[in-house]
Structure formats: C-alpha cells, structure tokens
C-alpha cells in the first residue's frame, strides 16, 4: 500500500428543490440556511444524499439494505450483523444500543464512518420562488373542488464534499475484509457518485458532477469544502479560481496539495473553462476520465 489514504472530492451539480422540511399549512418549505449578510441558501442534507447513495447501491450493485430492525425499541442496525454483511455499515458507520440488564451493562457500540458527506448547499441565493399546485385533474373526475397547495422552488447549482478514509474501509474491531473487497466497495461508491440522482415528489433530479476537484492525499481532510464560489459575469457563471489556487498551495509536510489534485469538468457549463484548465495544466479531464484516474489510485492504494 502507498500512504495516500485520504480521498476527497468536492462536487458541483445543478438541480431543483432537493429537500423539504417542515411545512406551514398547505405550504411546503425547502430546507434553508441564512447567512449574516441576509442571503438565504437552500440545501439537501447529508442524510438525504446518503439515502440516495444507498438506494443506488442496491439498484446498481445489489448492496444489502436488509440490515435494520426495531427489536430493541428503536430502529437501528441489527445486532448480529457486521460490516461483512453490509456495505452501508462499513462505509457510513453505525451505532447499536442495548439496555442494561442483570447480565449486561448495556450502552452503545459505535463504529465511526469511513465516508463523510457534507450537506449539498446551493451556490445561488434563494429568492422566494413559489409554485401553486392543485389536483384539478382528479377533482374534475368526481365534480369536486380541487385541493390547493403552495410549494417552494429553487433551481440552482449546488456543491457538496465527500471524504473517504481508505485506511478505515473494511476494518471494525477484529474484523478485516480482504483488500479486494475494500477496493470493490470504494469503487462502487465512486461509480454511484458519478451518476448520483435523487427521487423527490415525482421528479428525478440529476446530481451527477458538472465540476469535480480532488484526489488522494497523505492526510484525510475536505480541503476544497467551503472553497467553491460562483460568480455571475456577463450573464454567465464563472467558478472563482482564486480560492482554489490558494487552497492548492497548502502543504502536507513538503508536498503541496496541488501535486495530488485533479479536476473533472463537463464542457460548456462554466464560462471560464480556459482559466480552470490553466490552473492545473494536463490535469483537467472530462468527468469520466477523472473518475477512472481516481479509481486507479484506489486500486494502487489497496494493491
């Protein structure tokens, strides 16, 4: 194995109205964050992203999701199952609780996540767009008045970050999976992220990357989280490259982050493509090639 155990990816995608919270009356409200300058941004929670990763894991790679029950009063992973039985438990960790009895002390059995997700936060402000809905088509069939509803809408670019500690994959106490199985699970996760989508309210939103930056590093850290900013110039979006350049100058020992960083990008999305390509000469690829190179680094780590 090499010692580059920290894999991090920061992604931009474009989607609409990804996650709803508590509503008021007949109004469905998006999950939102407010900033001190008065700006409001919508977000999809990390739990929502994890849900869709697991859903696609089942569809694409037959991940075992039959691993939860309520035998102890709360919904949690089954006591008799381990990371050998569940890709989800291996990647995202678990907590199993038990009550104190005459024979046991009870408490919690916790295995921390090897894969960490951030919320997917919009890069464009929410400006109170609303959609008026009714079920007139159904109501007309029985000559009734339709039910009315209002639903918040937001079409935006979003960004989120994934960090993977490759050294923790497939290890839990006395259990350790083979390197082949560790590699397989990480590559399956990367394949899911590459084509990630979200099913919500009759829609299927595409969360596949339009821009992605990252690589494998000697230290596991979300280097580019909070470093993504869009700028509207001449009615077109640019990615702020100054923040990315400054981030890549950080060093781990004598090695600058830039040396291990790559970019994947879909053409004709952002207006400053040439500026982005000049930032990392010969290391800016299309999205498919980016994932192929990252997967090659994963194979090298577990070789």
First-to-last alpha carbon distance for the chain, in angstroms, is 6
Length of the chain: 303
- The 10s digit of each residue's pLDDT in 242-258 is 999 999 999 988 899 99
Q: Considering only CA atoms, which of 145, 169, 168, 120 is closest in space to residue 16?
A: 120
Break the chain into its structural domains and give their ranges.
Answer: 6-302
Quick check: 261 pLDDT over 80?
yes
State pLDDT tens for residues 110-129.
Answer: 899 999 999 999 999 999 99
Single out the residue of 299, 66, 81, 99 nearest to residue 190, CA to CA.
299
Q: What's the pTM?
A: 0.93
Using alpha carbons only, give the angle 54, 60, 65 rounded to the nearest 5 degrees: 35
């Amino acid at each position: 194995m090499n010692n580059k155990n920290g894999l991090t990816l920061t992604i931009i995608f474009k989607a609409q109205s990804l996650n709803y919270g508590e509503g008021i009356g007949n109004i469905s409200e998006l999950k939102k964050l407010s900033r001190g300058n008065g700006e409001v941004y919508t977000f999809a929670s990390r739990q929502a992203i994890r849900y869709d990763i697991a859903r696609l894991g089942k569809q694409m790679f037959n991940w075992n999701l039959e691993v939860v029950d309520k035998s102890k009063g709360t919904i949690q992973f089954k006591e008799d199952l381990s990371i050998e039985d569940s890709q989800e438990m291996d990647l995202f960790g678990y907590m199993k609780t038990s009550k104190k009895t005459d024979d046991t002390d009870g408490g919690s059995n916790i295995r921390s996540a090897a894969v960490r997700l951030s919320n997917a936060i919009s890069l464009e402000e929410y400006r109170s767009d609303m959609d008026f809905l009714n079920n007139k088509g159904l109501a007309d069939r029985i000559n009734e008045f339709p039910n009315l509803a209002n639903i918040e809408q937001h079409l935006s670019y979003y960004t989120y970050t994934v960090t993977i500690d490759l050294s923790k994959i497939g290890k839990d106490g006395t259990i350790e999976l083979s390197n082949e199985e560790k590699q397989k699970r990480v590559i399956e996760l990367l394949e899911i992220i590459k084509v990630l989508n979200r099913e919500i309210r009759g829609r299927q939103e595409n969360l596949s990357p339009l821009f992605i930056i990252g690589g494998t590093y000697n230290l596991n850290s979300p280097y580019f989280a909070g470093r993504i900013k869009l700028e509207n110039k001449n009615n077109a979006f640019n990615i702020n490259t100054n923040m990315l350049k400054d981030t890549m100058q950080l060093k781990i020992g004598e090695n600058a982050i830039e040396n291990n960083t790559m970019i994947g990008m879909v053409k004709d999305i952002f207006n400053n493509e040439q500026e982005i390509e000049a930032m990392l000469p010969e290391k800016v690829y299309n999205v498919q090639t980016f994932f192929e190179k990252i997967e090659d680094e994963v194979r090298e780590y577990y070789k």
